[in-house]
Amino acid sequence: MIRGALLAFPRRFRLSLGMDLLALYEDFSATGRGRSKVAVGWDLLRNGLAARFDDARRTFGHGAGSPSGGRRPSRLRSVLGDFGFGLRILRKSPVFTIIAVGSLTVGIGANTAVFTVLDATILRQLPVAAPDELVVLHMAGASDDWPDISQSGWALTNDQGHMEGSSFSYRMYERLRDAESPFVAVTAFADLYRLNIRVDGAAQLASGQVAAGNYYNLLGLVPFRGRLLNEADDDPAAAPVAVISHAYWQTRFGGRDEAVGSVVHVNGAPLTIVGVSPPGFDGALQLGRAPAVTVPLAHQASVMRDRELLARGDYWWLHILGRRQPSATLEQAEAAGALVFAQSLEADLEVTDSPMYVTALPGARGMTEARSLVVKPLMTVAVVVVAVLLIACVNLANLLVARGSTRSREIAVRLSLGASRWRVTRQLLSESLLLAGIGAGLGTALAIVGRDLLLPVLDLQGAQLGLTLNWRVLAFTGLAASVTGLFFGIVPALRATRVDLTPALKDEPLRGGTSRFGLARVLLVAQVALSIGLLVVAGLFVGSLAALTGEATGFDGDRVLTISIDPRSSGYEGPELTAYYEEALARLRRVPGVMEAGMASHVPASGSMTTATVRVEGYEPAEGERVGSFVNVVDAGFFDAFDIVARQGRLFGPGDGPGSTKVAVVNRSLVDRYLPGSNPLGRHVGFGRGENAIELEIVGVVDDIKYQNLGDDPGPAVHLLYSQRTRLGGQTLALKASGRPEDLASGARAAMRELDANVPLREVEPHREVVRGNVAVARTFAQLSGGLSTVALLLSCIGLYGILAYSVAHRRREIGVRMALGARRADVVGLVMREMRTVAVGGALGLLGAYFAVRGLGSQLYGLDPTDPTVMFGAAAVLLSVAAVAAFLPARQASMLDPAEALHSE
Amino acid sequence: MRSTETKNQSNLKQIDFLVLAVLQKGSLHGYGIVQRLEEMTDGAVALRPGDVYRVLYRMERANLLARAGEAETSNGRRANYAITAAGRRLLSSQAEILASVAANVLATGGHEHVG
């Protein structure tokens, strides 16, 4: 590090004296005078830059030994001189400098932080060969037009109002791969989400994907160690292998070479690691999904719990990514995809003339659905931070205008001594650029802290985003600072240099003193308008959060600890799985402090739910209507753990079991929607078709429980009893504590380990954390917009205070005359406070603007209208009262003037 | 505004003057300069290593001092610096100026306001 800091010195210095200097540090520490590395680094940096400065002065004719007396100063020298002089000026007025630099730091820092996230989520391309040639296929259609398939992966509503997905069957991939097409090659891959990976007997969870053998070749990647997948791995008879990511190799294997060639167990299947993918490549899956392990498609079944998917044309789960020939267009790629898609619908599903269609999208950023969801919140934040930067810039401009008027004498002297107007303007500009530069430096530091605060906004807490300060981010910051410094410095600089020399030199107050503040007033109006806009946004998000958290949820999980498990990844299935859950619950009930223990496939507020088509006895669906319901597989203890009671009938009891009548507990919404006005008890609901069909008797009704987002309509739900199911999946165990739920964690972990240490526990967390996570986006928006609007308000008040303080200083004599002629103190206060009219104008304009601007926020708010009058007028009240305080301070100061002194002061 | 270049000698900074004064009595290595300076000024001037070498670099380039062999110290061999003839001339001319200024200041008690 010390050698690095030595780079601050000129090269010539390093060559002749560098080693001697390092030796002197040794002498210092040998005599007990050594200092911390930071102190040494600072010593080097400071003196190194100073030595460079000395050199520059020598070169351009200023220093000792230079024969340049009287030579015209070179451009560089004079620019350096400008900055040096600017630095001295800034040091001489610390309050001005601190306010200006502070405003800019906040403004630039917030923008850099947002840009860092923007860069990582939206702008960055995959680190692969020629990413612009990549194409991702999507398919879409009205939800009624979708064929009867099982689909895994994202499906979003597109601009045409159709359901659009990016998953296809393996058969479709095969056909496209083998067809004549404008693609050089196509590959397929799918997210495996969390896998149970055992290395040397220790099981841990990690993310994974399956990919076709040509995946890495198509992307043009070379192995970091060993080899990557190739076409030979597509043969089901080939040895089962896996490729691990560079990051996983580092964290799980410590970057050891022996990792390649070792055997790991992925969901129980032994695979040999054959290589490490290049650093920086985290796959092409959705945003934040970075697969640690990549398994060949041919071995899909062995890592996916023996679900053989390759032969199924009705299971759509694979992403298709192609590399088009450089001469081929996106339209040609789309046409080729559409043709094969139609063939597949007909061959696999016997669907002809389907209105479903295929679209081809640029694949340079991989799968983009998750990205598309964060664009809107991110843009909202971006608009807010740009507004904060604007306010900071206006502050800077205001301060510069005000200072320009106090420095009018200095400027007049320089102009009268023959300096050109451009020369003085340049000097003033270099000062504002200097301010912006310092602001950019500090802002970058602030951004490093700030970007972590942004992640919850994007609801990507667990995601690995790789937020780094790369050249794009630094270029953005540099650009923001330069524009700020130049644009907001030039008008004040031009105004300051347009002075009438004679009165300025005599240090007389400028005639028409108040008119000089005309520009400042315009800037103040802009500032106030922006501030009130941000206050409105903050008010909306805070109100939205309040509405969200105040909503009835249908459950009480404050004392519940939840543990998610999926014993299937450790080999449990069928009756063994049921028995495992039964035994786990029995053991957990014996853990000290546990009052109730239950489980559910989906706990309240978790945001995840299974949906199914349901038949309700006594309800005739209209032609083409799909009767949907949430399905939750629970045990009897689930209701007790979350304090859910039966409003009608009963809950599950000890009498319900595998042998007895199949029972169901439904929610209020299901009854209201499908069985209004009739007694639901004893009626039947049914799922599935053919031999998988089941019928259940409704034995009870509970209130609506919010399983999804707390802001969403809960919708119909059916609760099934786990012991009456033949196929079970992962479950979340819920333990109700007599005290704090956190205190149960260690006991529960021990009990689960004792039962079977091979079953990894996923999240072990108090249920209130689940609820927190559910409203995390709303909460962070409220905090972020609240914090930023407070900063904006403060900046505006500083601006207002500054203007008034300067105007009072300028009008001392006028105020003195008024007081001498009998004006009372209250009159003087009123005189200054009249500036509040400017604030009121700005506030009114801002409210008007906000009224139209915030309409776009509707979809991000819950429980209140974007133009909510309480929020609008609340923002106005806050702004006016805070501004009144800021204005009152200089007003009071003015009223304290001693008239005699004020009259003599000039 | 074009500044009139002053004669370079009068640009000599106080710290440069002090370092030249220390070297007047013989060549020294970096740490020796630091120690001697502290002795000479009763600890009022304590330089950090970077400061020392920045001064040495500046004055070496101005030909006021030069490297002069190496010294054997308990920590190993260290480069020595010695004052040049030009340095000596500058030092004594500066000393004269400073001496007369100092005498003036002391004679008036150093407090009088020049108005």
Q: What is the 3-state secondary structure (H, E, C) of A751-814?
A: HHHHHCCCCCEEEEEEHHHHHHHHCHHHHHHHHHHHHHHHHHHHHHHHHHHHHHHHHHHHCHHH
Any chain A CB within 8 A of the CB of B12? yes
Residues of B in contact with A61 (CB under 8 A): 5
Whether residues A593 and A688 share a domain: the answer is: yes
Residue A402, domain member (yes or no): yes
Cα dihedral across residues A601, A607, A613, A615: positive or negative: positive
Query: Is there a contact between A31 and B31 if contact means CB atoms under 8 Å apart?
Result: yes
From A336, A364, A392, the end of a domain falls on: A364
Query: Is there a contact between B51 and A31 if contact means CB atoms under 8 Å apart?
Result: no
Whether residues A335 and A386 share a domain: the answer is: no
DSSP character for A297?
G
Query: Does residue A636 contact residue A646 with C-beta atoms inside 8 Å?
Result: no
For an interface test with A, which of B12, B57, B75 has the most A Cβ atoms less than 10 Å from its Cβ? Answer: B57
Q: Which two tokens stand for residue A744?
A: 């149960």
Residue A593, domain member (yes or no): yes
**pLDDT at res. A462:** 43
Nearest to B31 among A24, A68, A417 (CB): A24
Any chain B CB within 8 A of the CB of A59? no
Query: Is there a contact between A63 and B3 if contact means CB atoms under 8 Å apart?
Result: no
For chain A, the residue count is 906
> Measuring CA to CA, how many Å separate A96 from each of A103, A106, A396, A524?
11, 16, 9, 17
Residue B57 scores a pLDDT above 80: yes
Residue B113, domain member (yes or no): no
Residue B20, domain member (yes or no): yes
Nearest to B5 among A13, A23, A70 (CB): A70
Any chain B CB within 8 A of the CB of A60? no
Q: Which two tokens stand for residue A769?
A: 């954390």
Query: Is there a contact between A28 and B12 if contact means CB atoms under 8 Å apart?
Result: no
Domain count of chain B? Answer: 1
- Pick the residue from chain B with its C-alpha nearest to A39: B48
DSSP character for B102?
H
Beta carbons within 8 Å of A620's beta carbon, 6+ residues apart = none
Nearest to B62 among A9, A62, A64 (CB): A64
Whether residues A672 and A720 share a domain: the answer is: yes
Distance from CA of B108 to the nearest CA of A (A): 30
Whether residues A321 and A449 share a domain: the answer is: no
Whether residues A178 and A311 share a domain: the answer is: yes
Any chain A CB within 8 A of the CB of B93? no
From A298, A333, A364, the end of a domain falls on: A364
> Measuring CA to CA, how many Å separate A346 from each of A177, A340, A547, A837, B19?
18, 10, 49, 72, 93
Tell me how far apart the alpha carbons of residues A889 and A886 are, in angstroms, rounded to a whole number.
6
Q: Which two tokens stand for residue A345?
A: 């619908």
Whether residues A261 and A354 share a domain: the answer is: yes
Residue A567, domain member (yes or no): no
Residues of B in contact with A51 (CB under 8 A): 54, 57-58
Residues of B in contact with A26 (CB under 8 A): 75
- Pick the residue from chain A with its C-alpha nearest to B12: A64
Number of neighbouring beta carbons within 10 Å of residue A23:
20
Any chain B CB within 8 A of the CB of A64? yes
Any chain A CB within 8 A of the CB of B44? no
Beta carbons within 8 Å of A511's beta carbon, 6+ residues apart = A503
Tell me how far apart the alpha carbons of residues A589 and A583 are, in angstroms, rounded to a whole number.
10
Query: Is there a contact between B53 and A20 if contact means CB atoms under 8 Å apart?
Result: yes
**pLDDT at res. A67:** 42
Q: Which of A553, A567, A551 is nearest to A599 (CA)?
A: A567
Number of neighbouring beta carbons within 10 Å of residue A711:
16
Beta carbons within 8 Å of A251's beta carbon, 6+ residues apart = none
**pLDDT at res. B1:** 37
What's the average model confidence in pLDDT over B23-35?
89
Residues of B in contact with A13 (CB under 8 A): 53, 57
Measured at the CA of A235, the angle between CA A229 and CA A238, to 5 degrees, comes to 75
Residues of B in contact with A71 (CB under 8 A): 5
Residue B112, domain member (yes or no): no
What's the average model confidence in pLDDT over B31-59?
87
**pLDDT at res. A744:** 92
CATH of the domain at B102: 1.10.10.10
Residue A561, domain member (yes or no): no
Beta carbons within 8 Å of A688's beta carbon, 6+ residues apart = A694
Query: Is there a contact between A16 and B60 if contact means CB atoms under 8 Å apart?
Result: yes
**pLDDT at res. A342:** 94
Domain count of chain A? Answer: 5
Whether residues A494 and A544 share a domain: the answer is: no
What string of DSSP letters covers A838-863?
A: HHHHHHHHHHHHHHHHGGGGGGG--S
- Pick the residue from chain A with its C-alpha nearest to B52: A21
Any chain B CB within 8 A of the CB of A17? yes
Any chain B CB within 8 A of the CB of A25? yes
Residues of B in contact with A44 (CB under 8 A): 50
**Helix, coil or strand: residue B88:** helix
Residue B83, domain member (yes or no): yes
Distance from CA of A79 to the nearest CA of B (A): 13
**pLDDT at res. A862:** 79
Whether residues A320 and A209 share a domain: the answer is: yes
Domain, as residue range, for A835: 512-552+769-906
Nearest to A20 among B2, B9, B79 (CB): B79
Whether residues A595 and A691 share a domain: the answer is: yes
The two beta strands, A357-362 and A610-613, are unpaired
Whether residues A201 and A135 share a domain: the answer is: yes
From A758, A788, A816, the end of a domain falls on: A758
Query: Does residue A732 contact residue A563 with C-beta atoms inside 8 Å?
Result: yes
> Measuring CA to CA, how many Å separate B108 from each of B96, B102, B113?
19, 10, 10
For an interface test with A, which of B14, B37, B54 has the most A Cβ atoms less than 10 Å from its Cβ? Answer: B54
Angle between helices A369-406 and A421-454 (to 10 degrees): 140
For an interface test with A, which of B3, B13, B28, B31 has the most A Cβ atoms less than 10 Å from its Cβ? Answer: B31
**pLDDT at res. B101:** 85
Whether residues A250 and A268 share a domain: the answer is: yes
Counting one residue from chain A and one from chain B, the pairs whose CB atoms sit within 8 A come to 98
Residues of B in contact with A28 (CB under 8 A): 31, 49
Query: Is there a contact between B49 and A65 if contact means CB atoms under 8 Å apart?
Result: no
pLDDT along chain A (906 residues), means of 10: 75 84 85 80 83 72 42 61 77 78 84 82 87 94 79 80 90 93 94 86 86 96 95 93 94 92 91 94 86 94 79 90 94 94 92 90 90 78 86 81 73 78 82 86 83 63 57 83 82 74 55 55 86 89 84 86 88 90 95 94 83 86 78 94 94 91 94 91 88 89 87 86 88 94 91 88 85 76 81 80 76 83 86 85 92 82 85 90 87 82 67
Distance from CA of B48 to the nearest CA of A (A): 7
The backbone region for A822, taken as left when phi is positive above 0, alpha when psi lies in -120 to 50, beta otherwise, is left
> Measuring CA to CA, how many Å separate A507 from each of A502, A858, A905?
9, 56, 11
Residues of B in contact with A423 (CB under 8 A): 1
Residue A566, domain member (yes or no): no
Any chain A CB within 8 A of the CB of B38? no
The two beta strands, B76-83 and B28-29, are antiparallel
Residues of A in contact with B30 (CB under 8 A): 20-21, 23-24, 27
Distance from CA of A811 to the nearest CA of B (A): 31
Residue A205, domain member (yes or no): yes
Query: Is there a contact between A69 and B5 if contact means CB atoms under 8 Å apart?
Result: yes
Any chain B CB within 8 A of the CB of A250? no
Domain, as residue range, for B32: 11-107
Residue A803, domain member (yes or no): yes
**pLDDT at res. A649:** 94
Q: Kindly report the pTM of this predicted structure.
A: 0.65
Residue A540, domain member (yes or no): yes
Split at pLDDT 50, 70, 90, the class of B42 is: confident
Asked whether this complex has an ipTM greater than 0.95, the answer is no
Residue B65, domain member (yes or no): yes
Whether residues A655 and A701 share a domain: the answer is: yes
